[in-house]
Chain A
Amino acid sequence: MAFRAGVIISLCLSAGLVWIIESGAADVFLEATRPDFQKIPLGVVGIENAGGAESPEGRIRLGSRIEEVLKADVRRSLVFSLVDLSGIGVKVNHLGKTPDPSFKQAAEQGVSVIVWGKAGMKNEDKDADVNMEGYVYDAGSDEMVGGKRYAGSPSVVRLMAHRFADELVFRYTGEPGIARTKIAYVSEVGPARELFVMDYDGHDPRQVTADGFLNLMPRWSPDRRFLVFTAYRNRNTQDIDMIELATGKRWTLVSLSGLNITPALSPDGNFLAFSSSHEGNSELYRMDTRTKDMQRLTVNAAGDLSPSWSPSGREIAFTSDRSGGPQVFLMSADGSNVRRLTFEGDYNAAPAWSPRGNWIAYVCRSPKKDYKLCLISPDGQKRVQLTTGHGVDDSPSWSPDGRHLVFSSTADGKSQIYMINTDGKDLERITFTGTHNSAPTWSPAS
Chain B
Amino acid sequence: MKEETFLQLPVYIHEKGVESMRRVQSIICASLIVGSFMVNMFGCASKSVQSGGETQASRPETKSGAGQDLPDTSFSGRDSSGGLRGLDKNPSEERLGSGGSLMAKADPGSAGRQIEDIRAEQAAVAAGLRDIFFAYDSFAISEDGRQVLAHDAEWIKANPGAQVKIEGHCDERGTSAYNLVLGEKRAKAARNYLVELGVTPNHLSIVSYGKERPVCKEHVESCYAQNRRAHMLLKTGK
Contacts and interface: CB of A to CB of B under 8 A. Distances in A.
Physical interaction between A and B? yes
Interface of A: 15-17, 19, 21-22, 25-26, 29, 31, 33-34, 97, 131, 133, 136, 144-153, 155-156, 159-160, 163, 166-167, 170-171, 174-177, 180, 191-194, 206-214, 216-217, 221-223, 225-226, 230, 232-236, 238-239, 242, 244-248, 251-256, 258-259, 261-262, 265, 267-270, 275, 277, 282, 285, 287, 289-290, 292-296, 303, 305-306, 310-312, 314-315, 319, 321, 325-326, 347, 349-350, 356-358, 363, 365, 369, 371, 378, 392, 394-395, 410, 413, 415, 438-439, 444-446
Contacts of B176: 216-217, 350, 394-395, 438-439
Given A170-B84, A171-B86, A392-B173, A149 B92 contact: yes
A214 B71 CA distance: 24
Given A145-B87, A235-B117, A15 B10 contact: yes
Contacts of A378: 1, 4
Interface of B: 1, 3-4, 7-14, 60-68, 70-76, 78, 80-84, 86-89, 91-98, 100-107, 109-111, 113-114, 116-117, 120, 137, 165, 167, 172-178, 180-181, 184-185, 205, 207-209, 212-213, 219, 233
A34 B84 contact: no
Given A16-B10, A258-B184, A159 B86 contact: no
Given A144-B89, A170-B86, A392-B174, 17 more contacts: A16-B10, A17-B9, A146-B89, A149-B93, A152-B95, A155-B98, A163-B84, A167-B87, A193-B212, A212-B106, A213-B110, A214-B213, A236-B165, A251-B68, A259-B181, A267-B75, A314-B4
Nearest to B8: A358
A221 B75 CA distance: 9
Contacts of A275: 181
Contacts of A15: 10
A213 B87 contact: no
Given A150-B94, A212-B106, A268-B75, A34 B10 contact: yes
A192 B113 CA distance: 12
Contacts of B3: 310, 312, 314, 357
Contacts of A258: 184
Contacts, number: 311
A305 B14 contact: no
A238 to B, nearest CB: 7
B96 A159 contact: yes
A392 to B, nearest CB: 6
A287 B65 CA distance: 11
Contacts of A234: 109-110, 113, 116-117
A254 B84 contact: no
Given A149-B92, A208-B104, A325 B137 contact: yes
Given A305-B177, A319-B177, A395-B176, A296 B4 contact: no
A69 B95 CA distance: 19
A236 B167 CA distance: 11
Contact of A293 (B63, B71, B209): B63
A19 B96 contact: no
A153 B1 CA distance: 48
A259 B180 contact: yes
Contacts of A251: 66, 68, 70-71
Contacts of B74: 268-270, 289-290
Given A277-B184, A312-B3, A17 B11 contact: yes
Given A146-B86, A176-B80, A270-B74, A19 B7 contact: no
A326 B178 contact: yes
B202 to A, nearest CB: 13
Contact of B12 (A19, A171, A216, A369): A19
A124 B213 CA distance: 49
Nearest to A249: B71
Nearest to B101: A206
A134 to B, nearest CB: 9
16 contacts: A25-B86, A33-B10, A148-B88, A153-B98, A170-B82, A192-B110, A206-B102, A211-B110, A214-B213, A236-B205, A261-B181, A269-B74, A285-B64, A290-B70, A326-B178, A363-B175
B84 A349 contact: no
Contact of A292 (B66, B89, B105, B120): B66
Contact of A321 (B60, B103, B110, B181): B181
B174 A347 contact: yes
Contacts of A226: 71, 73
Contact of B70 (A149, A166, A292): A292
Nearest to B181: A303
A357 B212 CA distance: 31
B96 A156 contact: yes
B132 to A, nearest CB: 19
Given A19-B12, A213-B110, A145 B105 contact: no
B11 to A, nearest CB: 6
A356 B7 contact: yes
A319 B179 CA distance: 12
Contacts of A293: 61-63
